[in-house]
Amino acid sequence: MGYGCQKDFHIEDYVESFRHTSPVKRTWKRRSPEGLQHVEPDPLTKEQQDELLNVGALGLAGESGEVIDLIKKHLFHGKPLDRDKAIEELGDVFWYVQCLAEALDVSIGEVAQKNAAKLRRRYPKGFQHGGGIR
């Protein structure tokens, strides 16, 4: 797959890991609309959604700050960039993004897909400094 990722690792595996460690435990049921098998969560209560929003937003801010601090120390203090630590912190950022996606009842795949579409609209000729459509 590239960049050191396991070939057999899929985003669904990550989402399953997130759900195992999520602060909100949801009930997942097998449903079969039109004969298709899939797993669907019970709806979040307002309290569950608020918990996920709170944990997700505050955690994202904190972990993003840790990534920023690593980069700041590398760029401005001459420290070597600790790649493994940066990857670890990016994983924490990703967990909190998944937390927010769960709160919004959207898959991380849909978030990525919508972002890719937005970037194609904003940068139809690819990224150029000062060249985005606003």
Residues 89-126 pLDDT 10s: 999 999 999 999 999 999 999 999 999 999 999 888 88
Q: Tell me, what's the pLDDT at 1?
A: 40
Q: How far is CA 54 from CA 19, 47, 119, in A?
A: 16, 10, 28
pLDDT in the model for residue 37: 55
- Could you say which residues of the chain have pLDDT below 50? 1-2
Domain boundaries, the chain: 11-122
Architecture of the 11-122 domain = Orthogonal Bundle (1.10)
The four Cα atoms 129, 77, 83, 94 give a dihedral, to 10 degrees, of -60
Q: How many angstroms separate the CA atoms of 114 and 101, rounded?
A: 13
3-state DSSP assignment of residue 39: strand
The DSSP symbol for 29 reads E
Confidence (pTM): 0.80
